[in-house]
Amino acid sequence: MSAHGSIRTLGLAVAQLGPVHLADTRQAVVARLVEMMRQAQALQAEFVVFPELALTTFFPRYWMSEEEAVGRFFEKTMPNPAVQPLFDEARRLEIGFCLGYAELTPQGRRFNTSILVDRNGEVIGKYRKIHLPGHAEHKPDAPFQHLEKKFFEVGDVGFRVSRLGQTRIGMCICNDRRWPETFRVLSLQSAELVVLGYNTPSHNIHWDEPAHLRMFTHLLCLQASAYQNALWIGAAAKCGREDGFHMIGGSVIVAPTGEIVAQATSEGDEVIAARIDLGLSDKFRQHVFNFAKHRRPEHYRLIVERTGAGDPLR
């Protein structure tokens, strides 16, 4: 028994990915992911988190047609021959993973997707990004674009929790982490661990935001969400200077206490790991965040009745 009353643990690794440039091939990126999967396994990890849109550069920064984007950056099947080595290595090492990529469905729909893969290399969960930041129109005066609203549809599968062995895992992607509803909907399904990848530009093209706030708000959201929902979070950046466009690092593993237990120190390929105690959530869920006992959803109706802010209730 641990000090927190449970012996259930998971070896969790987060694989931060340094820049992926326009000229980099899928094969070269997958070789880097395979190498980090091996490092994760050497650190006794059973599950590894890879970033959002991990197989390519963060292409929503470039103005182009949807057809061009599909041809260059989207995956028509998963796995496919370029990504198969990652699935093969997962099966060989008996390690699960989550991976973000741009998904083109057989019907021609486009999503910013992440999949959950078990230690047999089987896809057991899929999430399609719900909170799509940025814009759909061309901003010729901006230093770069953020065209997620042009290239992707809003995800259509909701926030789901999958069982990976003994662990209940939920997924979200990047901007979703800034919305408290994301984590609450997952924790209401008893998620114990939420995993996500992100590409967060250091520069805000919409207003002159001090650069240090990008890291601060990233960590603030993860630490608050882990604590308020009594769950673990593993968050993997793609970061550094991709073809000259800088994105923050700061990949982390956050405990249900809100404390960071591991954090990347570089802006390159880097694996961090921790053996996480899933029982650490129990005391929070039994007491301060005992949802059944203390939540008052009858007073939260506006959360689902309104999207934007409006007048005070009468």
Q: Which of 174, 192, 239, 242 is catalytic?
A: 174
Number of residues in contact with ligand CDT, rule: CB under 6 A? 10
Residue 55 per-residue DSSP state = T
Find the shortest distance in angstroms from Cβ 195 to ligand CDT: 15
Residues 199-218 that bind ligand CDT (CB under 6 A): 199-200
Q: Please say which residue, 93 or 239, places its beta carbon nearer to ligand CDT.
A: 239
The C-alpha atoms of residue 200 and residue 219 are separated, in whole angstroms, by: 12
Residue 178 in the binding site for ligand CDT (CB under 6 A): yes
Q: Which of 46, 52, 103, 192 is catalytic?
A: 52
Select from 13, 174, 252, 273 the one that contacts ligand CDT (CB under 6 A). 174
Select from 133, 180, 258, 268 the one that contacts ligand CDT (CB under 6 A). 133
CB contact at 8 A, 10 and 274: no
The C-alpha atoms of residue 58 and residue 72 are separated, in whole angstroms, by: 12
In the sheet that holds 47-49, the strands lie side by side as: 123-128, 110-117, 96-104, 47-49, 9-16, 270-277
Find the shortest distance in angstroms from Cβ 52 to ligand CDT: 6
Residue 134 in the binding site for ligand CDT (CB under 6 A): yes
Q: Which of 89, 98, 103, 129 is catalytic?
A: 129
Residue 225 in the binding site for ligand CDT (CB under 6 A): no
Phi and psi of 106, rounded to 5°?
-60, -25
CB atoms inside a 10 Å sphere around CB 71: 11
Residue 281 in the binding site for ligand CDT (CB under 6 A): no
Active site residue 129: yes
Q: Please say which residue, 114 or 200, places its beta carbon nearer to ligand CDT.
A: 200
Q: Please say which residue, 79 or 197, places its beta carbon nearer to ligand CDT.
A: 197
CB contact at 8 A, 102 and 75: yes
Find the shortest distance in angstroms from Cβ 208 to ligand CDT: 13
Stretch near ligand CDT under the rule CB under 6 A, chosen from 21-29, 158-166, 180-188, 194-202: 194-202
CB contact at 8 A, 87 and 123: no
The C-alpha atoms of residue 70 and residue 135 are separated, in whole angstroms, by: 18
The C-alpha atoms of residue 50 and residue 167 are separated, in whole angstroms, by: 18
User: Which two three-digit tokens encode residue 90?
Assistant: 């997962």
Q: Please say which residue, 61 or 285, places its beta carbon nearer to ligand CDT.
A: 61
Residue 198 in the binding site for ligand CDT (CB under 6 A): yes
CB contact at 8 A, 135 and 159: no
CB contact at 8 A, 175 and 132: yes
Q: Rule CB under 6 A: which residues touch ligand CDT?
A: 52, 133-134, 146, 174-175, 178, 198-200
Active site residues: 52, 129, 174
